[in-house]
Structures are given as C-alpha cells and as structure tokens.
Amino acid sequence: MRLSKRIKEYHFEFKHLTVLFIVLISFQLVITLINKNSVNTLLSETRDWYQKDSAENLANLTTTSLELIIESVVSKEQLNIETERKVIQSFDIILSQQKLQHNLEEICILINHGDEIILIDNGKELFEVLLKDSKKISPVQKSQRRVIEMYKEFKNSIAESEQIHSKLINNEFNIFVPLVINGEFIGVVYMKNSTDFSFITDQIIATYDETNLIYISLILLGLLAMYFISSYTVKERDDAQILLFEEHEKNLKKQIDYDKELVFTKRIYHTHHKAEKVMGFIKDDLRSLTPQNIDETKYRVTKYSNFISRVIYDMKWFDPPVQTIRSSIYKTNLNEVISFLVDNIFLRISRSSDSFRFDLELDPDIPVLHINEYVIWEMLEPLIQNSIDHSKAENLLIKIKTIYNKQFNHTKLVIEDNGVGINSELLEISDNKIKMLFLENTSTKDRDLPMGGYGCFIAYQISKRCGWTIDAENLEKNGCKYEIIIPN
C-alpha cells in the first residue's frame, strides 16, 4: 500500500513518456550494436583460427606426401630412367595439385644447402637436388626472395622444434612445414594460403541482422503500443485535470469575490459608522443655527456633507480610481484638515473631552497636497481614534505635528500619545513584509466587535494609494506614534 501511494504521488506527463520511450529505444539500439560487434569479433577470430588450421593441414599433408615419395625412392639402390620419370612426375603432381586449390597462391620447397637456401618450385629440380645432389636450379625470382628472407627469421627455431610455423600478413597465411627425410631436417615446404570464409561469416551476420531487425521491430511495436496507450491515458488524465483546475479556478474566483464583498461590506459598515456620527453633528448644527453663526455653521456643515458624499462614493467602489484620490486639481492644506478634524470631530463627541487633549504643532511652510482632503480625513480619523481608544490613560495627550523638510522635499506627519503603547506582537513584521498592526482583522479590541481591526488597515491602504509611507512604533518612555512620510 505504501509503495502504491508513493507511485501515485508521481504524475507522468506526456514529455516524461516521450523521454522514456526514446531512452528505451536508444538502449535497445546500443545493446544490438554491442551484440553485433561481439558476434563479429567471435566470427572473425573463429574464421582466422579455422583458416590457419586449414592452411596448416593442407601444407602438412603436402609435406608428408613429399616425404613418403622421397623416402620410398631413396630406399632403392638403383634408379633407372623410367623410375626417375615417375618420381619427377609424382613431385609435379603433388605440387601442381595443390595449386589447383583456389585459396593456395604459392607453393615451393626451401632446402638447406650449407649456408645457402635453395628454393625449388618444380619436380625436376627437386629430384636433382635431393636424389642427385645437383645445384643446377633456376635462378630465384625477385618475388621469391621475400620467402627466403622470411624463412631465415625462424629457420633455427623450426630446425630445433620441427614444428609448423605460420605468419599472417595482409590476411594471407605463410605456412612453413618442416621437411624431414629419414629423420634428418633438410628444409621446409612453404605455402601461401589466403583461405577466405567471409561468405560464411557474411551469411551468419546477415542472419543475425535479420533476427535483430525482427526483434527490434517487435519491441518497437510493443513500445509504440504502450506509448500510445499511456499517452492516451495521460491525455485523459490531463483533460480531467484541466477541467478540475478550471472548476477550481471558478471556485477560487467565487471565493475571492465573496471575500472582497465581505471585506467591502465590513468597510462600508466601518465608514457608515463614521458617517452616522457626522450626520449627528449636522443635525446638531442645524438645530443650533442662528443668524450670528450661520457662516461658521455653513462652512462646517459643508465639510460634513462632503465627507458624507465621499463615504457614499466609497460604498460604490471596492477599489476606487486613482484620479478620485490624487490629482492636480486637488489643492489640500494638510494643516486645515487636521485642525478641522480635531476641533469639529474629536472635540465634539459626547464623551467628555476632559479625558484627553490635543497639542498641535503644525508647520505653516508645508506645501499644498494634490490629494482629496476627504481621503486624508478617512485616513487620519481612525489613527487618532486609535490613540483615544487604546491609550488607557487618564490624562491623554495627543500630539499632532507636521514638519516640512526642504532638503528631501517631503512632509512628515506625526501623531503621538502618552498612553500604554501598542502591543509588541502587533509591531512584528508579517510574511507580507508589513507590520501586523496594518493587516486586516488585526486589533487589540474584543474579537467579537465587528469594527475591530479595520482602522489601521484602512489607513495603511489609503496611504499606499496616495503614495505615502506609514509606520508605527512605541515611544521610549510610554505611548506610541504614527509617522507618515508625504513626498511633495
């Protein structure tokens, strides 16, 4: 069971089967070539051995016949003309009969005569030299001198061992058979034999090639059948996987859309809560409207109404277009936005403002921002609210500073408080290279509260769309601070 499970873990693709098929065919071809070379080597060695043995047997038989004739003649005391003619004829028959062999190219007899070597290739000269001790022989031809030189190389070893010597030159066997008359070594019988059995080996190789071809063809057909069956099976599996992936993709898209809608719904709830608070301020201003405060109330209600419009617009878009966030048509004074938020939002809440107070250090030299002021409002409001909600301090002091750096041409916005600070776990870096504080659903509030974990997340998302950089950290003594870098 374990083995089958491990095998199932590996999914063979079409390319894997192709590589496996090519490897098997290559291995089979290599094995076939190696076997063919081995057979060729075996046949070649066998052929050489048989050629040598055949040539030596022929030379040995010829030498034996000559020895028997010579010994039978020498045993007679007198030789007449008729006997001489018969002996010479016998010698010629033996020498000429061997030349009829289609593989025999040359035959002669080498006689040791003192320090000289006499080469004889006919019956008459052989009779004269052996039986009459004559030296009247035909001159040695140029082509025959190589035979004498070859014989001189191992003359002594033949005389001592009286064994046949063979020398292979250019696929031709040069055979030297000792010639012994009445127990005395007098020379050798030389034969040059080019025995050719290639027609036999060629037939064997042809038969072997035919067998290999049939064998490889059968294997190839079997592998092709397996290949196509496996390919068809893999194709069906791939088609099923594609359908599964497409179905999985549809489900993922549905899940993503659902998650987006869920997040969007929570964000709407979050902003709706802010809008409800602002609507309360509008109603309160309208109830307290007098001729004396009409201009001030008109300005404040206009700001509230524009914020409500922005909230309603955000309800229509999960990811609003960039031009509705930043554009050259917007000329926002950051100090005015901060002052309005502090004076007309946080200092107007029903909760007693004696529990916290603000200290504003606003740099008048900061340049205008090409950002929608109500987008800035959406970002700053939850950050300031976090300082109020999580400070757990009786006399909470919230410092808001704006600093313009001409050298780097950017504005720094700092929000500090003297509360208990941020939980160290929330300041750790997540897998997304973002501090845990700015992740969705991350909060120190009660987990059951539906609004928990969205304030800092929304602030981080809005600052990223504005092209700003936001960070949070604890102060050395107590409290925490949010720092926003705004490039100009």
Strand partners, 374: none
* pLDDT reading at 449 higher than 50: no
Query: Does the pLDDT at position 1 exceed 60?
Result: no
Which among 473, 459, 456, 466 has a CA at the least distance from the CA of 488?
466
Give the C-alpha separation, 89 to 74, whole Å. 16
The continuous run of DSSP H or E covering 437 comes out as: none
Give the residue ranges of DSSP H helices in 288-348: 294-316, 334-344
Average pLDDT value for the chain: 78
The pLDDT value recorded for residue 268 is 63
Averaged pLDDT, 79-92: 74
**392 — pLDDT class (breaks 50, 70, 90):** confident
Residues 6+ apart with CB under 8 A from 205: 36, 39, 40, 43
- pLDDT of residue 284 exceeding 70: yes
Is the pLDDT at 309 greater than 60, yes or no? Answer: yes
Q: What is the pLDDT of residue 350?
A: 46
Query: How does DSSP classify residue 427?
Result: G
Which is nearest to 186 in space by CA: 110, 243, 257, 285? 110
Per-residue confidence band for 352, with pLDDT thresholds at 50, 70 and 90: very low
Alpha-carbon separation of residue 106 from 10, 139, 154, 445 (angstroms): 72, 17, 19, 117
What's the distance, Cα to Cα, between the start and end of the chain in Å? 67
Helix-then-strand count for the chain, H and E: 11, 10
List C-alpha distances in Å: 66 to 62, 87, 95, 109, 467: 6, 10, 9, 10, 118
Question: Phi/psi at 267 (nearest 5 deg)?
Answer: -65, -40
Contacts of 383 (CB under 8 A, 6+ apart): 415, 455, 456, 459, 482
**320-487: what CATH class?**
alpha beta
Quick one: pLDDT at residue 411? 94
H or E stretch covering 151: helix 142-153
Between residues 420 and 71, the one the model is more confident about: 420
Q: Are 205 and 40 in contact (CB under 8 A)?
A: yes
Question: 100-109, 166-175, 386-395, 461-470: which range is least confident on average?
Answer: 100-109
**CA separation, residue 52 to residues 105, 188, 202, 204, 370 (Å):** 15, 17, 19, 20, 106
> Which of the pair, 231 or 175, is modelled with greater confidence?
175
Maximum average pLDDT range among 3-17, 200-214, 285-299: 285-299
What is the structure's pLDDT at 402? 95
Domains in the chain: boundaries: 11-196, 320-487
For residue 311, the model assigns a pLDDT of: 80
Which is more confidently placed, 289 or 169?
289
Q: Within 10 A of 327 (CB to CB), how many other CB atoms are there?
A: 12
**Least confident segment among 114-123, 134-143, 242-251:** 134-143
| pTM metric for this prediction | 0.49
CA distances from residue 263 to 131, 259, 268, 444, 457 in whole angstroms, order as listed: 129, 6, 9, 19, 11
Q: What is the pLDDT of residue 486?
A: 94
Q: What pLDDT score was predicted for residue 337?
A: 93
DSSP states along 100-119: TSTTEEEEEEEEEETTEEEE
pLDDT band at 267 (very low <50, low <70, confident <90, very high): low
Q: Are 339 and 360 in contact (CB under 8 A)?
A: yes
Q: Under CATH, what is the fold of the domain 11-196?
A: Beta-Lactamase (3.30.450)
| Residue-level pLDDT at 413 | 95
pLDDT digit string, tens, across residues 354-363: 678 899 999 9
Would you say residue 435 has pLDDT above 60?
yes
Cα dihedral 384, 390, 392, 395 in deg (nearest 10): 0
